[in-house]
């Protein structure tokens, strides 16, 4: 299991209804996109960070492992705004792009933290069965659940093939590593098709009729949590309005 999925099952907000956490995290996300980057997105990002590390109880190392790759994409997206091509010299620093790069980084980082506030506190197993009640077609939720399950099967297959290749000194040189990676991709591809075929046969033998019925644990909505969320979102809007220069 991935560290973020393990945190979603072990955090303090796991017993809460997914709708409560969706209202909070998606509400902060909407404010991140609508309000000015400074100070609106800065406030929403800071709140999401405090909530996920404080009340939700996510470990700092788990949060860092979840955000480091997306933050790399954010930093990569900033680079074109900081340089200018053409002229003399051909590649030069562009000071006018610094404010735009800062706005991009601030808004993207805040949006990432808002999404992680939901992803790190809500397991997919709690969310997907409840989407049917919102009118999402069962085929969509079942494909999402099977895809989610297949990710772990593929990671397990990839790990097994890599360990077998490492045991045969398949990564001792660069040439051997490239050859091992090619064989690794082919082996995982074949295993994925075999797993899919076996899954289809298993569903057919169990009388699959187009929907998978699962028991969902009842989690009542907390009026106090919903009210506190609405107050918090309104406070963010008010604080941004007061702090925005006129």
**Rounded alpha-carbon distances, angstroms, from residue 67 to 33, 37, 79, 102, 161:** 19, 19, 19, 18, 27
Under a CB-based contact definition with an 8 Å cutoff, are residues 131 and 22 in contact? no
- pLDDT confidence tier of residue 179, bands split at 50, 70 and 90: confident
User: What does the pLDDT read at residue 128?
Assistant: 82
Q: What is the mean pLDDT of residues 48-62?
A: 92
Task: Give the H or E element holding residue 52.
Answer: helix 42-53
Range with the lowest mean pLDDT among 1-10, 41-50, 54-63, 232-241?
1-10
pLDDT at 54: 92
Average pLDDT for residues 90-106, to the nearest whole number? 86
The confidence score (pLDDT) of residue 211 equals: 67
Answer whether residue 1 shows pLDDT above 70.
no
pTM assigned to the model: 0.82
Angstrom distance (rounded) from CA 101 to CA 109: 12
Of residues 114 and 165, more confidence is placed in 114
136-150 pLDDT, tens digit per residue, is: 887 788 788 878 878
Q: pLDDT of 18-34, one tens digit each? A: 999 999 999 999 999 99
Of residues 110 and 214, more confidently modeled:
110
The mean pLDDT value of the chain amounts to 86
147-151, Cβ contacts within 8 angstroms, sequence gap of 24 or more: 148/124, 150/192, 150/195, 150/196
**What was the pLDDT predicted at 240?**
93
Confidence (pLDDT) at 89: 76
């Amino acid at each position: 299991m991935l560290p973020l999925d393990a945190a979603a099952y072990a955090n303090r907000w796991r017993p809460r209804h997914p709708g409560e956490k969706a209202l909070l995290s998606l509400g902060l996300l909407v404010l991140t996109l609508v309000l000015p980057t400074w100070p609106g997105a800065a406030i929403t990002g800071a709140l999401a960070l405090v909530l996920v590390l404080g009340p939700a109880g996510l470990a700092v190392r788990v949060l860092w492992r979840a955000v480091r790759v997306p933050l790399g994409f954010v930093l990569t997206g900033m680079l074109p705004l900081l340089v200018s091509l053409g002229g003399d010299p051909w590649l030069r620093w562009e000071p006018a792009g610094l404010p735009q790069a800062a706005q991009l980084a601030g808004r993207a980082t805040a949006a990432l933290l808002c999404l992680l506030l939901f992803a790190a506190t809500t397991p997919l197993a709690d969310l997907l069965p409840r989407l049917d009640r919102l009118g999402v077609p069962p085929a969509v939720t079942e494909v999402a659940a099977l895809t989610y399950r297949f990710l772990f099967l593929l990671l397990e297959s990839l790990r097994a093939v890599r360990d077998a290749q490492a045991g045969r000194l398949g990564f001792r040189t660069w040439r051997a590593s490239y050859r091992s990676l090619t064989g690794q991709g082919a082996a995982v591809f074949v295993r994925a098709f075999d797993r899919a075929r076996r899954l289809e046969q298993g569903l057919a033998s169990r009388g699959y009729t187009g929907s998978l019925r699962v028991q969902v644990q009842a989690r009542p909505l907390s009026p106090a949590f919903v009210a506190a969320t609405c107050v918090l979102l309104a406070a963010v809007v008010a604080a941004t309005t007061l702090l925005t220069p006129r």
